[in-house]
Amino acid sequence: MKFNSLVIHGGIDGDEKTGAVTVPIYQTSTYRQKKVGQHSGYEYSRTGNPTREALEKLISDLEGGFRGFAFSSGMAAISSVLMLFKSGDHIILSDDVYGGTFRVVDKVFKNLGLEYDFINTNDINDISKYIKKNTKAIYIETPTNPLMKLTDIKEVSKIAKENNLLLIVDNTFMTPYLQKPIKLGADIVIHSATKYLGGHSDLVAGLVIVNNEELGNKMHFIQNSVGAILGPFDSWLLIKGIKTLHVRMDRHCENAEKIVNWLKEQEWVKKIYYPGIEANENKIMQMKKFGGMISFEVVNEEYLNKLLSNLKIITLAESLGGVESLISVPAKMTHASIPAEIRDKLGITDTLVRLSVGIEDVEDIISDLTLNLK
């Protein structure tokens, strides 16, 4: 089945018992058993729920994985993946990651004995220098958040396999419509499904997809043991959002490309960070299109304040990937938890802006970004 059909008919398509076209919301906590230990496949909704299972099978189909798992947030998904490792294990992570990822590694899992290095993973030659005897995984974002740096998944996969390491890829920005990490060699894929997969800023969710049965058994044990599961209503909402993923992503990409070309002509824009620019410069062509995320640096705080006070269509808010355009200042919002000295080193300045391009009329978005410099 082609992707555009798979988003609609993948996973569990409708309900066989009633003929319902959409998967029902099984809003229940427990299930009747005929005898002790004899049930219909479900016993308690933390362990398994039919609506959540439909979502989990759908995202596994879309990513080309072995098994999928739905969690209560993107951070719950990331934290559950990190629970695969034990005290004394070492992992390598992209240095320019979402602030919440940095925080949970540096402030939570560090206290549990996890060792780590945040490095520039888009420099493939640099990765091997950080591999130790206790290294267990490489964790990458591509594109990164917020500087849109790309890492060659296929090349990192070669390094991971040579050293018997897991390769974990956060695919939130690209979605399985634009990029397929498992096909490129990843073992685990993570999504903040709050973003493009949900697509309507009406839910918080996380997804994990694994490429083999062993990892599937381990992730299910963690999911069931910790219990950070996605509820049935949000699972249903997420299935609903995914059905239009391909249509929305095409418009996100189209609008973003036009806005990037417009930003190149603006004198108040110091630098633009966009996957299309990075891909062409580094000849990394692992995505179908370049997504709807743009970051750009404004020449000074005066122009930044003018920009933020000019907004009518674009919303100043955290998060991304909704049908509406959202703008943020990462250093003061999504990445404020990263120490200032690390932000400065990475290039996450106080005048860096991150724009999640929505699916509105592109001329209205550009009008919001147009500054009167007099």
Do 169 and 262 fall within a single domain?
A: no
Question: Regarding beta strands 166-170 and 188-192, do their DSSP bridges make them parallel or antiparallel, or are they unpaired?
Answer: parallel
Q: Give the chain's mean pLDDT.
A: 95
Please check whether residue 85 is in contact with residue 222, taking contact to mean a CB–CB distance below 8 angstroms: no
How do residues 70-103 score in pLDDT, each as one tens digit?
999 999 999 999 999 999 999 999 999 999 999 9
How do residues 258-279 score in pLDDT, each as one tens digit?
999 999 999 999 999 999 998 8
Catalytic, out of 52, 67, 180, 195 = 195
CA pair distance 239, 55, nearest whole angstrom: 6
**Distances in Å between the alpha carbon of 243 and those of 105, 221, 247?**
33, 29, 9
CA pair distance 336, 328, nearest whole angstrom: 12
Do 42 and 162 fall within a single domain?
A: yes
Is residue 374 one of the residues assigned to a domain?
Answer: no
Does 38 have pLDDT greater than 90?
A: no
Domain final residue pick, 212, 242, 272: 242
Catalytic, out of 46, 251, 258, 306 = 46
Active site residue 95: no
Catalytic, out of 61, 67, 95, 98 = 98
CA pair distance 27, 7, nearest whole angstrom: 23
CA pair distance 366, 20, nearest whole angstrom: 43
Domain that holds residue 350: 245-369
pLDDT value, residue 39: 83
Do 216 and 271 fall within a single domain?
A: no
pLDDT value, residue 334: 83
Catalytic, out of 152, 170, 187, 234 = 170
Count the domains in the chain. Answer: 2
How do residues 149-195 score in pLDDT, each as one tens digit?
999 999 999 999 999 999 999 999 999 999 999 999 999 999 999 99
pLDDT value, residue 374: 62
Please check whether residue 72 is in contact with residue 193, taking contact to mean a CB–CB distance below 8 angstroms: no
Active site residue 243: no
pLDDT value, residue 163: 98
Domain final residue pick, 242, 263, 290: 242
DSSP type of residue 231? P
Do 262 and 231 fall within a single domain?
A: no
Active site residue 46: yes
Do 257 and 178 fall within a single domain?
A: no
pLDDT value, residue 282: 84
Query: Helices H, strands E: what count in the chain?
Result: 14, 12
CA pair distance 97, 57, nearest whole angstrom: 27
User: Which of 8-17, 155-164, 248-257, 316-325 is the least confident region?
Assistant: 8-17
**Is the omega angle on the peptide bond into residue 176 within 30 degrees of 0, that is, cis?**
no
Do 291 and 154 fall within a single domain?
A: no
Active site residue 374: no
